[in-house]
C-alpha cells in the first residue's frame, strides 16, 4: 500500500497486490486497512490458470554454476508468449522475486530474451515460474564454489583530537575484485587495498562519538546479496558534550518542478552534522552559507526522488548533531513553538482522482522503420503550473546524458487548459504498451496505476507497433585466431578474424585483451564498421592484428568485445560488478563451441623467476598537514618509492583520500625517475568542496607495480607505523570562502537560460553578478534570473563561438572561471536498411484479369473490393469457422462441404534437397486470445530437437471486421471474414548452416454429398505464387507473398507445391477429398524469420463443372500466391534460432493485459 498524493487532508493511497505463483486464490480475499480506524474490504481474485508451455530453458536440471565464473551466469534462449512474465524465485528464506525476463529481439508473439538472475552467497535451489499463469517451468541448483571473502579481525586505533580509524581485515583472496562496501558504498576498484598480490588491507575513519555498535563494512557478490555488518563493543572514547539539535526555520525555494532549495536554520550544542529524510534525501552540513555548525543557515539543493515502490506518506526530518543525537520533525506539525507547520516537499504533485483527462495523441504508433513522435495531453483540477516530465522506460542501453535517459519535459498550455509533453520514441521497440513513469511526488505514476482510475482506464497505455523489435547489441557469429600462437613466449604478430551480425547495423566498438590474473594488463583496440574487410552493416567481417610481446610473468588473458549498433544497443563481454545494466555477451552464439571459445584465450608464458622484493617508501614530504576544504582545497605532498625490479610503465600509481562518510577521492600523481629504479611522486590535488570537513582525511597509496608484476601498497596504518604522514586535518569556514562553480547546464550557440551549480554562489536575498566572456574575447555582464547559494540562473545571448567563460561575483568575491563548451545539435544516427535490388518493370500481362473488377500491374491482377482471386472474378462471402482445440486446424462450414487449413509438419532440408530431420506436429495446447475486432487462438507445441527442444506456436486470427495489418514495409488490409495464421518456431538448432527449414501447411476438403464436382489449379510458374481448389462456384482462396523478413531484413523466399495432383486449365475432378500440401522454404537464419500468406472463401462468377453436375454440395478451392495488392488473409510465420547464452540483464517488461487464457488437454 503506497501513497500517491499527500498534499491535502484526504490523502490518496494505492494498494498493489501480487500473489505468489504458488498461491491458489480461488475465492475473494478480505483485506483490513488500519489507520485512525479500520475498515475491511473484500476483493475478488480470478483463479490462476496455466498458460501454454511456450518457454524453453535449455540447460540441464542438474546445472551447477560457479559464483566466480561470470561467463556461467544463468541464462537461456527463451521464447515467451505475449502476456507471460517470467520470474525467478529462490527456495530459501523469505520468498521473493529474484529475476525477470528481458526481451531483446523478435515480435509481439515470439521473443528472444534473457533471464536476469542475481548471485547468492549460499548454495540455492531456484524455481522458474510464469507470474501471470502460475506455471512452473524449471527448477535448478546454484552452487557457490568459493566462499565470500573473509572479513577478518581489526584494530581500533586512536590519536588525540583525531577521529578513530579501524585497521580493517587483511585476507587472502584469489580474485582481484575485493567486493566490499563501506556505508553501502562500493570501495574503489583495483589497486585500492592491495598491499601485495595476495594481501588486502585498508583503513576507514570513524567518529570517536559514534554511538552505534557496528562498523558499516560488508562483503558482497551481487548487489542483491550482502553480508551483515561487523559488530563490536563500545567505542572507548567518551562522548563530547551534546544536546538536541533543533530547527529555527525551514522553507523552500523552487528551482523547477522537480528541483528545490531547502532553507534551514539549525542550532546545535555539539555541532550540526546532517538531516535525513525518509525518502532518502540527505542534507549535509557542508551546505552551510552563514554562521557555523553550532548556529548556522544552510541552503541544500535537492531533487525529487523518482519513487514507485514504498513512497513516504508523511515525511520526517531527522536532524543529527556530530554525536548522532537526533531530533525528529514530522510533516504537518510545527517545527517550533509559534512556528509554521513542516510542509511537504514542494515538488510537482497531482491527486490522481483529480486528473480530468489523459491521452496520448497519436497512439498505436508505428516504430518499425524509424523514431516516431507523440504527445501526452492531460489536465488535473487545481494544477496549472509546472513543467511535468515523463520518462520512457525502454532499456537503458547507453545513457550518456539526460536525453539518452528518455526523459521528456512538458508545459501547461493555457489555450487548451492542458499539460502538453512532446515525446519521441526510438525505433524497433516491441509491439504493445510502453512502460513509462510520469514524474510525481511522492509516487510517480506508472501505466498500471493510472489505468486503475476509472476516468483514464486504457488511455493510460502508450502503445507502439513494430514488425520487428531490436534491443540487443551486435552478436559475433564466428571468431577465429587465423595466425599466431596461442601461447606467447616472444614478440609475435597475432591475427583474429570475426564476423559481427546486427539487424540494425554494426556501428563501432572496442577489442580488449584483459586478465583476471594480472589486472595491470590491458590491450584496447578500436573497431569501426568502416574498417571491415568484407560484408555490410548487417554482417561484416573484421580482422584485428596485434603485435604481442612476452610478459614478465606467466598469466592467462582473454579477449573481450564491446560492440554498438546504430540504435545504440550494446553487447559486451567485459565483466561488471556495478549496479549498471549488464548486457548481452556478443559471443553468446559461440558459448557451446569450445574451439572458437579457446581462440578467445591468450596465454603468456615466462619461465624466469621474478625478484619478489616489494617496493619501499624512502621519503615522504608534506609541508602542510591541514587543508581548507571551503577555500583553495589543495593537498600538496611528495614521496619517493624504491623499486627492486625495473619500473612498470603505463600503470600509474594511485593516491587515495578517504573521509569519515566513506567517500573516496583518487589522485594519479606525476613523477620523475631518479635512476636506480627510484621514482619521486608529486601530489598537487584540489579536493572536492567540503571533502573531509567532518573529521579529516586519511591518505593511502596503492598500485606501486614493477615490471615483474610485484605489487606494493601502503595503507594508512602502514604509513602511520613508519611515522610518515597519513592524515590531513581540515578547515571549513564559509565566511572567508569564495564562490565555487562546479557545473552548468548544457548550452548551444542559440543562447538562452544557463543554470550554474556550485557553492556559495549567492543568496536568495543578495544579488550575484555574473560575467560572461565569449570565446575569451568579449566580457559582459549577463542578466541574472535567480540566485541562491547552490544555483544561479543567467540569460546568455546568442553567439557564434565555441565556448563561453562564466564567472560569478558575490560579496566582492570572485568565483573560479568556468568554461562552458557549446553543445552542438547532433543528428541521430540513421539506422541502415538493406539496399533493395533494382528491378525493371516487366510490363508483364495478366492472364484473364477482369478490367471491371480490377487492374493489371506487372503481371498481377489488383482487385477492387469486394472482388478477389488471381483474376478478380470472385467475391468474398461470409463464412463460419471453427477452431480445433487439439491442433491448429481451422474448419470452414456453412456449405455442403467442410474444409480445413492446418500446420502439419516441420522439415530440415540440406543443400541436396534431402530431408535431414522431420517432425510431425502434435500435442498442441490452446490459448484463447480473442479481441473485440477479431477471434484469436494460439496453439503451442514442443518438438524433441537436439541439443535443445524447439517450440512451435501457431496463432490463428479470424477477422470479423475490416482491419489493418502491417508486414515489413507493407500495409495490408484484412477484410471481414478473412483468416490469418501466425506461425512461430523457436530455438531450432540447425544441423548445418547451409540447411534450411520447410514448414508444411495442408488444405483439405471433405464433401458431405458425393454429387459434386471440383477443380484444382496452380501457378504455372516455378515460384508457386498461388494454387486453387474449387467446388462448383465456390473456392477457398489463399496466396503467399514472396517476401519474408529474415532477421529483421526483407528477403525473397520460395514456396513449393509438394503434391502433384493440380491440373492445368482447371480440369474437372470427381474426387471426394482434395488435399494440397505446400512447403514454405525458410533460409538458414540466426534470429527471426517471418512470412505472410493469406486465405479466404470466394464466390466465383463461372464454373468448370457441367451444369448437370452442380448441386447444393460444393467443394472448396485454395490459392496460395504472392500478391502485393488486395490481401484476403495473412499468415505470419516467425522463426527464432539462438544458442543458449548466460548473461544477466536488468530491464522493465510490460505485462500484457486483458487476455483470456484456457489450457486444454
Q: What is the pLDDT of residue 51?
A: 37
- 374 or 1146, higher pLDDT: 374
Tell whether domain 151-200+611-736 is in CATH 2.60.40.1220: yes
**In terms of DSSP H, where are the helices of 68-171?**
none
- Model confidence at 412, pLDDT cuts 50, 70, 90, reads very high
Q: What is the pLDDT of residue 969?
A: 62
Give the side-chain half-sphere CA count within 13 A for 505. 16
At which residue does the C-alpha cell 567486493 appear? 179
Rounded CA gap, 152 and 1098, in Å? 82
Q: Which residues contact 1148 (CB under 8 A, 6 or more apart)?
A: 393, 395, 435
Rounded CA gap, 617 and 719, in Å? 9
Q: Is 80 exceeded by the pLDDT of residue 464?
A: yes
Rounded CA gap, 344 and 337, in Å? 19
Beta bridge partners of 978: 959
Q: What would the pLDDT profile of 480-512 be if each residue is shown by its tens digit?
A: 999 999 999 989 999 999 999 998 999 999 999
Q: What is the rounded end-to-end Cα distance, in angstroms, of the chain?
A: 39
372: left (phi over 0), alpha (psi -120 to 50) or beta: beta
Is it true that the peptide bond before 442 is cis, omega within 30 degrees of 0? Answer: yes
- Model confidence at 983, pLDDT cuts 50, 70, 90, reads confident
Give backbone dihedrals phi and psi of 862, rounded to 5 degrees, phi first: -95, 120
Query: Dihedral angle at the C-alpha atoms of 576, 582, 584, 585, nearest 10 degrees?
Result: 0
Residue pair 1030/1066 in contact (Cβ under 8 Å)? The answer is yes
**Cα separations in angstroms, 34 against 31, 40, 41, 831, 913:** 10, 9, 11, 55, 72
At which residue does the C-alpha cell 571459445 appear? 597
- 3 state DSSP class of 945: coil
Q: What is the pLDDT of residue 73?
A: 34
Q: What is the pLDDT of residue 60?
A: 34
Q: Is 80 exceeded by the pLDDT of residue 341?
A: yes
Rounded CA gap, 1132 and 527, in Å? 37
Give backbone dihedrals phi and psi of 539, rounded to 5 degrees, phi first: -150, 105
Q: What would the pLDDT profile of 435-461 be if each residue is shown by its tens digit?
A: 899 999 988 998 988 988 888 988 999
Say which range, 342-346, 396-400, 860-864, 1030-1034, has the weakest mean pLDDT: 396-400
- 3 state DSSP class of 160: coil
Q: What is the pLDDT of residue 561?
A: 96
Q: Is 70 exceeded by the pLDDT of residue 696?
A: yes
Q: Is 50 exceeded by the pLDDT of residue 360?
A: yes
Q: Looking at residues 227-249, what average pLDDT do you find?
A: 67
Q: What is the pLDDT of residue 686?
A: 95
Q: Is 90 exceeded by the pLDDT of residue 995?
A: no
CATH superfamily of 475-604: Immunoglobulins (2.60.40.10)
* % pLDDT > 90, the chain: 31
Residue pair 89/99 in contact (Cβ under 8 Å)? The answer is no
Query: Dihedral angle at the C-alpha atoms of 214, 219, 220, 221, nearest 10 degrees?
Result: -170
Q: Looking at residues 1098-1111, what average pLDDT do you find?
A: 48
Rounded CA gap, 393 and 890, in Å? 39
Most confident segment among 78-87, 622-631, 900-909, 1139-1148:
622-631
Give the side-chain half-sphere CA count within 13 A for 39. 4
SS3 assignment for 451-516 = HCCCCCHHHHCEEEECCCEECCCCEEEEEEEEECCCEECCCEEEEEEEEEECCCCEEEEEEEEECC
Q: Is 80 exceeded by the pLDDT of residue 549?
A: yes
Q: What is the pLDDT of residue 35?
A: 62
Give the number of residues written for the chain.
1161
* % pLDDT > 70, the chain: 64
Rounded CA gap, 408 and 399, in Å? 14
Q: What is the pLDDT of residue 941?
A: 78
Q: What is the pLDDT of residue 822?
A: 85
- 23 or 593, higher pLDDT: 593
Residue 1107 DSSP symbol: G
- Model confidence at 324, pLDDT cuts 50, 70, 90, reads confident
The average confidence (pLDDT) of the chain is 75
- 3 state DSSP class of 447: helix
What are the cell numbers at 6? 499527500
- Model confidence at 629, pLDDT cuts 50, 70, 90, reads very high
Rounded CA gap, 921 and 941, in Å? 7
Q: Is 90 exceeded by the pLDDT of residue 904?
A: no
Residue pair 1048/993 in contact (Cβ under 8 Å)? The answer is no
Q: What is the pLDDT of residue 181?
A: 74
- 921 or 290, higher pLDDT: 290
What are the cell numbers at 1021? 510458374
* Displacement of CA 906 from its chain's centroid (Å): 35
- Model confidence at 1066, pLDDT cuts 50, 70, 90, reads very low
Residue pair 529/501 in contact (Cβ under 8 Å)? The answer is no
Q: What would the pLDDT profile of 27-63 be if each residue is shown by its tens digit?
A: 666 777 666 566 666 666 555 444 333 444 433 333 3
Determine how many CB atoms are found less than 10 A away from the CB of residue 915.
10
Q: What is the pLDDT of residue 463?
A: 92
Give the side-chain half-sphere CA count within 13 A for 738. 13
- 3 state DSSP class of 944: coil
Q: What would the pLDDT profile of 584-621 be if each residue is shown by its tens digit?
A: 889 877 876 778 888 999 999 877 766 789 999 989 99
Rounded CA gap, 598 and 574, in Å? 17
Residue pair 628/691 in contact (Cβ under 8 Å)? The answer is no
Q: What is the pLDDT of residue 703?
A: 93
**Pick among 3.20.20.10, 3.50.50.60, 2.60.40.10, 3.30.465.10: CATH of 740-821:** 2.60.40.10
Q: What is the pLDDT of residue 1128?
A: 28
Q: Which residues contact 708 (CB under 8 A, 6 or more apart)?
A: 552, 553, 610, 611, 612, 645, 646
Say which CATH topology domain 354-470 has. Answer: Immunoglobulin-like (2.60.40)
Q: Is 50 exceeded by the pLDDT of residue 542?
A: yes
Q: Looking at residues 90-107, what average pLDDT do you find?
A: 57
Q: Say if 354-470 and 740-821 have the same CATH topology.
A: yes
Q: What is the pLDDT of residue 939?
A: 78
Rounded CA gap, 1093 and 1102, in Å? 25
Q: What would the pLDDT profile of 949-971 be if each residue is shown by its tens digit?
A: 677 777 787 777 777 776 666 66
- 537 or 897, higher pLDDT: 537
Spans of all domains in the chain: 70-142, 151-200+611-736, 246-330, 354-470, 475-604, 740-821, 854-1136
Q: What is the pLDDT of residue 996?
A: 85
- Model confidence at 155, pLDDT cuts 50, 70, 90, reads low
What are the cell numbers at 131? 507470474
**Cα separations in angstroms, 727 against 274, 429, 461, 624, 698:** 23, 54, 57, 11, 5
**Pick among 2.60.40, 3.40.720, 3.30.530, 3.30.70: CATH of 246-330:** 2.60.40
Say which range, 184-188, 340-344, 630-634, has the weakest mean pLDDT: 184-188
Q: What would the pLDDT profile of 836-871 be if each residue is shown by its tens digit?
A: 555 555 567 777 788 888 888 877 788 888 787 778
Q: What is the pLDDT of residue 448?
A: 84
Amino acid at each position: 500500500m503506497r501513497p500517491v498524493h499527500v498534499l491535502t487532508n484526504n490523502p490518496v493511497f494505492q494498494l498493489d497486490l501480487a500473489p505468489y505463483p504458488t498461491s491458489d486464490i480461488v475465492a475473494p480475499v478480505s483485506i483490513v486497512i488500519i489507520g485512525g480506524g479500520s475498515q475491511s474490504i473484500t476483493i475478488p481474485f480470478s483463479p490462476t490458470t496455466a498458460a501454454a508451455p511456450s518457454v524453453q530453458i535449455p540447460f540441464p536440471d542438474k546445472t551447477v554454476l560457479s559464483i566466480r565464473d561470470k561467463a556461467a551466469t544463468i541464462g537461456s534462449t527463451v521464447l515467451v508468449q505475449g502476456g507471460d512474465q517470467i520470474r525467478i524465485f529462490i527456495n530459501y528464506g523469505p520468498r521473493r522475486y529474484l529475476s525477470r525476463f528481458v526481451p531483446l529481439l523478435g515480435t509481439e508473439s515470439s521473443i528472444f530474451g534473457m533471464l536476469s538472475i542475481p548471485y547468492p552467497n549460499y548454495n540455492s535451489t531456484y524455481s522458474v515460474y510464469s507470474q501471470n499463469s502460475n506455471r512452473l517451468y524449471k527448477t535448478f541448483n546454484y552452487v557457490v564454489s568459493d566462499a565470500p571473502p573473509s572479513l577478518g579481525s581489526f584494530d581500533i586505533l586512536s590519536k588525540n583530537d583525531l577521529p578513530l580509524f579501524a585497521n580493517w581485515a587483511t585476507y587472502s583472496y584469489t580474485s582481484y575484485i575485493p567486493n566490499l562496501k563501506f556505508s553501502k558504498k562500493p570501495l574503489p576498484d583495483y589497486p585500492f587495498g592491495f598491499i601485495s598480490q595476495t594481501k588486502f588491507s585498508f583503513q576507514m575513519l570513524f567518529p570517536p562519538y559514534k554511538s552505534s555498535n557496528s562498523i558499516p563494512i560488508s562483503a558482497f557478490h551481487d548487489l542483491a546479496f550482502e553480508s551483515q555488518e561487523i559488530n563490536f563493543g563500545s567505542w572507548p572514547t567518551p562522548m563530547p558534550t551534546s544536546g538536541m539539535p533543533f530547527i529555527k526555520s525551514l522553507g523552500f525555494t523552487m528551482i523547477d518542478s522537480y528541483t528545490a532549495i531547502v532553507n534551514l536554520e539549525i542550532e546545535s550544542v555539539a555541532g550540526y552534522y546532517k538531516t535525513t529524510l525518509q525518502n532518502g534525501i540527505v542534507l549535509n552540513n557542508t551546505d552551510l552559507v552563514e554562521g557555523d555548525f553550532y548556529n548556522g543557515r544552510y541552503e541544500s539543493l535537492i531533487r525529487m526522488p523518482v519513487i514507485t515502490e514504498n513512497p513516504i506518506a508523511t515525511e520526517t526530518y531527522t536532524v543529527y548533531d556530530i554525536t548522532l543525537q537526533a531530533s525528529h520533525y514530522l510533516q504537518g506539525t510545527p517545527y517550533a513553538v509559534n512556528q509554521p507547520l513542516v510542509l511537504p516537499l514542494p515538488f510537482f504533485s497531482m491527486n490522481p482522482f483529480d486528473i480530468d483527462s489523459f491521452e496520448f495523441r497519436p497512439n498505436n504508433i508505428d516504430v518499425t522503420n524509424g523514431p516516431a513522435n507523440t504527445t501526452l495531453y492531460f489536465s488535473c483540477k487545481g494544477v496549472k503550473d509546472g513543467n511535468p516530465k515523463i520518462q520512457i522506460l525502454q532499456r537503458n542501453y547507453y545513457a550518456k546524458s539526460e536525453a539518452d535517459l528518455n526523459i521528456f519535459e512538458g508545459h501547461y498550455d493555457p489555450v487548451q487548459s492542458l499539460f502538453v509533453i512532446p515525446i519521441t520514441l526510438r525505433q524497433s521497440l516491441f509491439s504493445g504498451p510502453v512502460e513509462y513513469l510520469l514524474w510525481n511526488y511522492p509516487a510517480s505514476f506508472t501505466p498500471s496505476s493510472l489505468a486503475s482510475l476509472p476516468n483514464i482506464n486504457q488511455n493510460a497505455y502508450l502503445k507502439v507497433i513494430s514488425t520487428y523489435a531490436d534491443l540487443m547489441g551486435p552478436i559475433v557469429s564466428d571468431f577465429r585466431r587465423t595466425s599466431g600462437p596461442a601461447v606467447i613466449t616472444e614478440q609475435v604478430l597475432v591475427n583474429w578474424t570475426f564476423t559481427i551480425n546486427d539487424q540494425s547495423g554494426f556501428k563501432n566498438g572496442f577489442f580488449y585483451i584483459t586478465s583476471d590474473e594480472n589486472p595491470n594488463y590491458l590491450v584496447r583496440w578500436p573497431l569501426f564498421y568502416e574498417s571491415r574487410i568484407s560484408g555490410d552493416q548487417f554482417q561484416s567481417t573484421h580482422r584485428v592484428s596485434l603485435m604481442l610481446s612476452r610478459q614478465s610473468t606467466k598469466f592467462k588473458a582473454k579477449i573481450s568485445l564491446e560492440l554498438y549498433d546504430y540504435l545504440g544497443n550494446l553487447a559486451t563481454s567485459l565483466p561488471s560488478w556495478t549496479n549498471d545494466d549488464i548486457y548481452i555477451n556478443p559471443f553468446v552464439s559461440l558459448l557451446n563451441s569450445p574451439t572458437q571459445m579457446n581462440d578467445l584465450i591468450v596465454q603468456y608464458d615466462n619461465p624466469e623467476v621474478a625478484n619478489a622484493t616489494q617496493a619501499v617508501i624512502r621519503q615522504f614530504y608534506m609541508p602542510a598537514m591541514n587543508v581548507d576544504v571551503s577555500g583553495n582545497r589543495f593537498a600538496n605532498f611528495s614521496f619517493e618509492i624504491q623499486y627492486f625490479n625495473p619500473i612498470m610503465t603505463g600503470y600509474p600509481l594511485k593516491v587515495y583520500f578517504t573521509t569519515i562518510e566513506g567517500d573516496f577521492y583518487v589522485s594519479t600523481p606525476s613523477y620523475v625517475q631518479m635512476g636506480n629504479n627510484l621514482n619521486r611522486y608529486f601530489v598537487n590535488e584540489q579536493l572536492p568542496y567540503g571533502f573531509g570537513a567532518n573529521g579529516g582525511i586519511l591518505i593511502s597509496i596503492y598500485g606501486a607495480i614493477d615490471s615483474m608484476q610485484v605489487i606494493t601498497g601502503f595503507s594508512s596504518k602502514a604509513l602511520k607505523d613508519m611515522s610518515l604522514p597519513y592524515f590531513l586535518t581540515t578547515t571549513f569556514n564559509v565566511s572567508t570562502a569564495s564562490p565555487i562553480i562546479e557545473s552548468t547546464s548544457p548550452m548551444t550557440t542559440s543562447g538562452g537560460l544557463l543554470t550554474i551549480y556550485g557553492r556559495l554562489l549567492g543568496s536568495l536575498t543578495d544579488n550575484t553578478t555574473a560575467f560572461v566572456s565569449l570565446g575569451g574575447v568579449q566580457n559582459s555582464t549577463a542578466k541574472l534570473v535567480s540566485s541562491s547559494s547552490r544555483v544561479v540562473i543567467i540569460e546568455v545571448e546568442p553567439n557564434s563561438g565555441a565556448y563561453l567563460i562564466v564567472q560569478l561575483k558575490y560579496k566582492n568575491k570572485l568565483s573560479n572561471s568556468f568554461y562552458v563548451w557549446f553543445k552542438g545539435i547532433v543528428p541521430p544516427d540513421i539506422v541502415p536498411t538493406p539496399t533493395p535490388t533494382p528491378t525493371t518493370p516487366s510490363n508483364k500481362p495478366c492472364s484473364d484479369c477482369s478490367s471491371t473488377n480490377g487492374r493489371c500491374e506487372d503481371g498481377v491482377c489488383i482487385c477492387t473490393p469486394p472482388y478477389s482471386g488471381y483474376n478478380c472474378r470472385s467475391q468474398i462471402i461470409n463464412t463460419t469457422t471453427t477452431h480445433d482445440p487439439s491442433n491448429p486446424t481451422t474448419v470452414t462450414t456453412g456449405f455442403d462441404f467442410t474444409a480445413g487449413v492446418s500446420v502439419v509438419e516441420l522439415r530440415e532440408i540440406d543443400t541436396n534437397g534431402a530431408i535431414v530431420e522431420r517432425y510431425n506436429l502434435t500435442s498442441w495446447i490452446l490459448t484463447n486470445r480473442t479481441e473485440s475486432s477479431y477471434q484469436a487462438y494460439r496453439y503451442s507445441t514442443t518438438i524433441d530437437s537436439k541439443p535443445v527442444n524447439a517450440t512451435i506456436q501457431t496463432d490463428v486470427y479470424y477477422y470479423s471486421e475490416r482491419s489493418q495489418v502491417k508486414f515489413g514495409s507493407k500495409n495490408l488490409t484484412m477484410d471481414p471474414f478473412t483468416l490469418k495464421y501466425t506461425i512461430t518456431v523457436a530455438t531450432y538448432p540447425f544441423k548445418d548452416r547451409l540447411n534450411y527449414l520447410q514448414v508444411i501447411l495442408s488444405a483439405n476438403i471433405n464433401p458431405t454429398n458425393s454429387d459434386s464436382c471440383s477443380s484444382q489449379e496452380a501457378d504455372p510458374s516455378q515460384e508457386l505464387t498461388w494454387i486453387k481448389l474449387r467446388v462448383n462456384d465456390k473456392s477457398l482462396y489463399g496466396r503467399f507473398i514472396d517476401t519474408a523478413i529474415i532477421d529483421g531484413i526483407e528477403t525473397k523466399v520460395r514456396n513449393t507445391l509438394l503434391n502433384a495432383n493440380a491440373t492445368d486449365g482447371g480440369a474437372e475432378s470427381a474426387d471426394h477429398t482434395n488435399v494440397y500440401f505446400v512447403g514454405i522454404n525458410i533460409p538458414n537464419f540466426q534470429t527471426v524469420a517471418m512470412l505472410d500468406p493469406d486465405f479466404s472463401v470466394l464466390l466465383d462468377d463461372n464454373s468448370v463443372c457441367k451444369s448437370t453436375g452442380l448441386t447444393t454440395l460444393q467443394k472448396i478451392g485454395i490459392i496460395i500466391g504472392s500478391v502485393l495488392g488486395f490481401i484476403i488473409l495473412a499468415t505470419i510465420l516467425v522463426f527464432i534460432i539462438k544458442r543458449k547464452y548466460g548473461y544477466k540483464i536488468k530491464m522493465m517488461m510490460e505485462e500484457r493485459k486483458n487476455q483470456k487464457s484456457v489450457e486444454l488437454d
